[in-house]
Amino acid sequence: DTGVSQDPRHKITKRGQNVTFRCDPISEHNRLYWYRQTLGQGPEFLTYFQNEAQLEKSRLLSDRFSAERPKGSFSTLEIQRTEQGDSAMYLCASSLSAGNGELFFGEGSRLTVL
């Protein structure tokens, strides 16, 4: 399977704990995006990378959120000191910078904070 893969698919944690999500993009894609989706809403942009450089961060991305893409391949999204409001689906997408703008999404990682 050469699509975007995310791990874990579902994470249940207690408030205050740290969680980390991993995204493996399509191998030839140099852009990687993180979005958050809550019930009844569309995906909300969090951040994106071109290769290993983090080029943009949404103001939705508080100081408790950090994303990395150390070698320009896979990426991690860490949430520290989770809050109940962090409960959402975290979507990763990848694309080619020279492409038509189409994003290829993974299946998402669902976070439930108790």
Partner 1 sequence: DQQVKQNSPSLSVQEGRISILNCDYTNSMFDYFLWYKKYPAEGPTFLISISSIKDKNEDGRFTVFLNKSAKHLSLHIVPSQPGDSAVYFCAASDRRADDMRFGAGTRLTVKP
Residues 50-79 that bind partner 1 (CB under 8 A): 55-56
Q: Which stretch, 14-22, 30-38, 63-71, 74-82, contacts partner 1 (CB under 8 A)?
A: 30-38
The yes or no reply on residue 103 touching partner 1 (CB under 8 A) is: yes
The yes or no reply on residue 2 touching partner 1 (CB under 8 A) is: no
Question: Long-range contacts: 67-72, Cβ < 8 Å, 24+?
Answer: 67/34, 69/32, 72/30
Question: Long-range contacts: 37-43, Cβ < 8 Å, 24+?
Answer: 37/88, 37/89, 37/90, 37/91, 37/108, 38/87, 38/88, 38/89, 43/91
Q: Which stretch, 14-22, 31-39, 66-74, 77-85, contacts partner 1 (CB under 8 A)?
A: 31-39
The yes or no reply on residue 85 touching partner 1 (CB under 8 A) is: no
d(CA 112, CA 114): 6
Q: Which of 11, 19, 21, 43 binds partner 1 (CB under 8 A)?
A: 43
Nearer to partner 1, 29 or 80 (CB): 29
